[in-house]
Amino acid sequence: MNWRERIFLVAWLSLCFAVMTEGALWAGDCQADSDDCGSVPDNNSTAAGVGGALAGGGLAWNSYNKRKKKGAPPSKPDPCAAEQQALSKAQGDLAAAQGQRDHYAQEVNKWAAEDDRLTSRAQQLLSRIRDAISWTPQNTQIGAQLPSGWDKPGGLDNLTSSQWQTLSNLVGRLQGADIQSDVQEFVNDAGSIENTMGELGNAKKNWDTYEDAYLEAQRQVNAAQFALDDCRASHSGDAQSQGDTAPAPS
């Protein structure tokens, strides 16, 4: 609202206020013989004054809004909207691939830790069992299935699932009250190790798959970011060339 409109609105409201307040001095009615029936009824004067004030204020406010809307620059579509959308999608795919990769990385660590725990305990049990049957032919059979240095830390880590099964069968046939508890625990651990090795192998395969997917998604994000930056650069002078001082979309 400019200064002319403000002056007009104040003058109009002042006139309406004067009509409403001064009307009581000359307004009347005809309820008694002494009343001035020729004067303008006071209720009608008040209503006219209120209506005039509202009408004048409404016209001034409407004029202000129209001028404000007319002066606002029209919005322009983003010329790089497609590139921005492609980048957002690539970033979403990257986040999903990273979540899967991290999940299976945790699975690998979990099963690897369980495999180490079971293998270490099986190694201790097997050492006690072989000490107890060192003079028997069964000890020789068991020893034939073990790698060199099997009793050293990590000595059983490279045994295959079938080798664990063979050891479990050989040890499970041993008899003797003094070793029966160790035999049973070793057989149980050997079965658990076989299961753990399967879970660990699956987790590693899944991690490899999602690691590849993550790296590919990262490449897609980089490509989409490059395309968006290139688009922004190519349209950076559009606003100035059209005489628009607004900055280019970022």
Structure tokens at 25: 């001095």
Per-residue pLDDT, 52: 54
The C-alpha atoms of residue 200 and residue 207 are separated, in whole angstroms, by 10
Q: Do 117 and 214 have their domain in common?
A: yes
Q: Do 46 and 143 have their domain in common?
A: no
Q: Do 139 and 48 have their domain in common?
A: no
Residue 224 lies in a domain: yes
Per-residue pLDDT, 220: 96
Decide if pLDDT at 102 tops 70: yes
Burial code (b: 16+ CB inside 10 Å, e: under 16) for 101-138 equals beebbebbeebeebbeebbeebbebbeebbebbeeeeb
Q: Do 105 and 56 have their domain in common?
A: no
Q: Do 123 and 48 have their domain in common?
A: no
Q: Do 127 and 160 have their domain in common?
A: yes
Comparison of pLDDT for 47 and 124, the residue scoring more: 124
Q: Do 52 and 142 have their domain in common?
A: no
Q: Do 90 and 210 have their domain in common?
A: yes
Per-residue pLDDT, 163: 94
Q: Model confidence over 60-87: pLDDT tens digits? A: 556 666 666 555 566 778 899 999 999 9
Question: Where a domain ends, among 65, 90, 112?
Answer: 65
Residue 111 lies in a domain: yes
Q: Model confidence over 132-178: pLDDT tens digits? A: 999 899 999 999 999 999 999 889 999 999 999 999 999 999 988 88
Task: With CA atoms as reference, report the closest residue to 24 among 9, 8, 40.
Answer: 40
DSSP state of 31: S
Per-residue pLDDT, 35: 52
Are the beta carbons of 16 and 49 closer than 8 angstroms? Answer: yes
Residue 208 lies in a domain: yes
For the chain, what percent of residues have pLDDT higher than 70? Answer: 65
Tokens 């690998």 locate to: 108
Per-residue pLDDT, 235: 86
Task: With CA atoms as reference, report the closest residue to 220 among 80, 81, 78, 98.
Answer: 98
Q: Do 100 and 54 have their domain in common?
A: no
Amino acid identity, position 94: L
- The pLDDT mean for the chain works out to 80
Residue 247 lies in a domain: no
Residue 159 lies in a domain: yes
Per-residue pLDDT, 20: 57
DSSP string for residues in 229-243: HHHHHHTTTHHHHTT
pTM for this predicted structure: 0.60
User: How many structural domains are present in the chain?
Assistant: 2
Q: Do 189 and 154 have their domain in common?
A: yes
Decide if pLDDT at 207 tops 70: yes
Residue 26 confidence class, pLDDT cut points 50, 70, 90? very low
Decide if pLDDT at 53 tops 90: no
Q: Do 98 and 61 have their domain in common?
A: no
Residue 248 lies in a domain: no
Per-residue pLDDT, 42: 52
* Residue range 20-38: mean pLDDT, rounded: 53
Residue 244 confidence class, pLDDT cut points 50, 70, 90? very low
Residue 248 confidence class, pLDDT cut points 50, 70, 90? very low
**HSE of 130 in the Cβ direction (CA atoms, 13 Å)?**
18
Per-residue pLDDT, 243: 42
Residue 71 lies in a domain: no
Comparison of pLDDT for 6 and 147, the residue scoring more: 147
Q: Do 58 and 161 have their domain in common?
A: no
Residue 242 lies in a domain: no
* Residue range 189-214: mean pLDDT, rounded: 95
Q: Tell me which residue range forms the domain holding 38.
A: 3-65
